Chains A and B, each alone.
With several copies, the nearest count.
Chain A
Amino acid sequence: MSKLIYLDNAATTKTAPEVVEAMLPYFTEYYGNPSSVYSFAAQNKEVITQQREIIANALGAKTEEIYFTAGGSESDNWALKATAEAYGNKGKHIITTKIEHHAILHSAEYLEKRGYEVTYLDVDEYGVVKLDDLKAAIRPDTILISVMFANNEIGTIQPIKEIGEIAHEHGILFHTDAVQAFGQVPINVDECHIDMLSASGHKLNGPKGIGFLYIRKGVKIRSFVHGGAQERKRRAGTENVPGIVGIGTAIERAVRTMQERTKKETEVRDYLIKRVLEEIPYTRLNGHPTKRLPNNANFSFQFIEGESLLIRLDMKGICGSSGSACTSGSLDPSHVLLAIGLPHEIAHGSLRLTLNEEITKEDIDYVVDSLKEIVAYIRQMSPLYED
Chain B
Amino acid sequence: MYSAKVMDHFEHPRNVGEIEDASGVGTVGNAKCGDIMRIYLDIDENQIIKDVKFKTFGCGAAVATSSMATEMVKGKTVQEAMEVTNKAVMEALDGLPPVKVHCSLLAEEAIHAALWDYAQKNGITIEGLQKPKSDIHEGEEDEAEEY
Query: Do A's and B's CB atoms come within 8 Å in the complex?
Result: yes
Asked if A383 contacts B1 (CB within 8 A), the reply is no
Nearest A residue to B16 via CB reads A381
- A104 CB within 8 Å of chain B: no
Residues on B with beta carbons closer than 8 Å to the beta carbon of A348: 31, 34
Give complex CA distance A307, B59 in Å. Answer: 5
| Residues of B in contact, count (CB < 8 Å) | 29
**Minimum CB–CB distance for A373 against chain B, Å:** 14
Size class of the A contact interface (CB-based, 8 Å)? 20 to 34
Determine the distance from Cα of A308 to Cα of B100 in the docked complex, in whole angstroms: 13
From residue 5 to 52 of chain A, which have CB atoms closer than 8 A to chain B?
A: 37, 42, 45
B11 proximal to A (CB < 8 A):
yes
Asked if B60 is at the interface of the complex by the 8 Å CB criterion, the answer is yes
Contact B38 A345 (CB under 8 A): no
Taking a contact as CB atoms under 8 Å apart, the answer to whether A384 and B59 are in contact is: no
Contact with A along B93-111 (1 / 0, CB 8 A): 0000101100000000000
Q: Residues of B contacting A42 with CB < 8 Å?
A: 1
Say if the beta carbon of B35 comes within 8 Å of chain A. Answer: yes
* B27 located at the interface, meaning its Cβ lies under 8 Å from any Cβ of chain A in the complex: yes
Minimum distance in angstroms from B65 CB to a CB of chain A: 13
Per DSSP, chain B at the interface is mixed
Assess A344 versus B100: contact at CB under 8 Å? Given A37-B1, A304-B57: no
Q: How far is the CA of A289 from the CA of B119 in the complex (A)?
A: 53
A383 touches B35 (CB 8 A): no
Partner of A307, one of B17, B32, B60, B144: B60
CA distance A45 to B97 in the complex (A): 13
Q: B103-147 toward A: CB 8 Å interface, digit per residue (1/0)?
A: 000000000000000000000000000000000000000001001
Partner of B31 from the list A308, A328, A380, A384 (CB cut-off 8 Å) is A384
Q: How far is the CA of A382 from the CA of B31 in the complex (A)?
A: 11
A177-B27 Cα distance, complex, nearest whole Å: 43
Say yes or no: A383 contacts B55, CB within 8 Å: yes
**Within 8 Å of chain A (Cβ to Cβ): is B36?**
yes
Q: Which residues of chain B are near A324, meaning CB under 8 Å?
A: 34, 59
CB of B60 within 8 A of CB of A384, answer: no
Answer yes or no: B75 CB below 8 A from chain A CBs.
no
Q: Is B89 an interface residue (CB 8 A)?
A: no
Q: How far is the CA of A308 from the CA of B27 in the complex (A)?
A: 19
Q: How far is the CB of B24 from chain A (nearest CB, A)?
A: 15
Q: Which residue of A lies closest to B101 (CB)?
A: A329
CA distance A223 to B27 in the complex (A): 40
B34 engages A325 (CB within 8 Å): yes
| Cβ contact within 8 Å between B56 and A311 | no
Chain A residues near B55 (CB-CB < 8 A): 381-383
A-B contact pairs, 17 of them (CB 8 A): A42-B1, A304-B57, A305-B34, A305-B58, A305-B59, A307-B60, A308-B10, A315-B11, A325-B33, A326-B58, A331-B144, A333-B34, A348-B34, A381-B56, A383-B55, A383-B56, A384-B31
Q: Report A's interface with B, CB cutoff 8 A.
A: 37, 42, 45, 303-308, 311, 315, 324-329, 331, 333, 343-345, 348, 380-384
